[in-house]
Structure 1
């Protein structure tokens, strides 16, 4: 009887774990068609989606024409930007996202930032995504670029960089965070 109950509990646990894993699947590269905005990306996206029509029209132009601040790029490399996670909330309907998202991607390419540490989430005009991630990060405006280290948010750029350059704002975030992360670890 004891073995029977143990087997039932084990089987139930496996079934529950399998259900949890399947429930956590994230749909990537969702595209919707809205009456007001036409085609729009929604939810988690891969970089490749922005090279497809109609998004490539604004993405490629801004990406290719943006002149990087090489001093800030060197600082990002020195500050090991690759050790941070970056989450970007953007809207394919948003002019600020049309400007700053391609610029961010060019910066990340220049510093050889690992794709595995980048999360791109497209939202609708209400700043909502299918996964509800915007609620976890209190997203009010797009684009919002969030830098995290050791699962803790260390800074964000909201709507537009204060310095006028995303890479300069990122350097400031990393420099401010440098000692605070060490203090947090040894608390």
Structure 2
């Protein structure tokens, strides 16, 4: 009886250890950097502090510092509580449009005190692919692409470059379109 219980306990501990090991192995790699023929490239999930490191800081810091925000639009973003929305940003460290608009977006988000926990940054390769295939899930074919979500549902997106010429103005237009339509849709589905 004791032997059977001991074997059962050893088996249970072994299964739990194996499950924990597999779970650990499946955790997403963050801040992956790869070497290409063109030099270094970020790939997959990134934290914003990666961009202030060389070689990315060469373009990131200059654009971040020089960008003059539309303060009226920034005030609208604060008023419309952009911090209540999730942002998913696809960009390429090799892409000139990303070199221009990604630092601008980060400056806007810093200005509105946007929480890092609501921001997802995915760096893609020249084929616009990420290691985990997020570009397929979000149907992204151009970079940069900025996706605005509320309650897991897409509200709108900015693709390649803002239509107004200013990311903050485009974001204001997306938030204005939202005007609780997601909440209405959620309640409509429940009825």
Q: Which TM-score applies when normalising by structure 1?
A: 0.90
Distance 1:21 1:33, change over 3 A: same
Give a deviation string over 1:40-91, Cα, whole Å, max 9, x none. Answer: 1111111111011110000000000000001110110111101111010000
Specify the alignment match of 1:22 in structure 2.
Answer: 24
Q: Does 1:126 align with 2:127?
A: yes
TM-align CA RMSD: 2.1
Q: Does 1:80 align with 2:113?
A: no
Whole-angstrom distance in 1 between the partners of 2:137 and 2:22:
20
Specify the alignment match of 1:115 in structure 2.
Answer: 116
Distance 1:186 1:94, change over 3 A: same
Of structures 1 and 2, the larger Rg is shown by 2
Distance 1:77 1:30, change over 3 A: same
Deviation at 1:13, TM superposition (A): 8.0
Distance 1:16 1:83, change over 3 A: farther
Whole-angstrom distance in 2 between the partners of 1:151 and 1:13:
34
Distance 1:58 1:145, change over 3 A: same
Structure 2, unpaired ranges of 5+ = none
Specify the alignment match of 2:182 in structure 1.
Answer: 181
- Written as runs of structure 1 = structure 2, the 5 A alignment for 1:1-187 is 14=16, 18=20, 21-35=23-37, 37-187=38-188
Distance 1:138 1:20, change over 3 A: farther
Whole-angstrom distance in 2 between the partners of 1:56 and 1:24:
30
Whole-angstrom distance in 2 between the partners of 1:19 and 1:111:
40
Deviation at 1:18, TM superposition (A): 3.3
Whole-angstrom distance in 1 between the partners of 2:57 and 2:24:
33
Q: Which TM-score applies when normalising by structure 2?
A: 0.88
Whole-angstrom distance in 2 between the partners of 1:16 and 1:184:
42
SS in 1 for 2:180: helix
Deviation at 1:185, TM superposition (A): 2.5
Give a deviation string over 1:125-184, Cα, whole Å, max 9, x none. Answer: 000111111110111100000011101111100000000000000010011011312211
Deviation at 1:109, TM superposition (A): 0.1
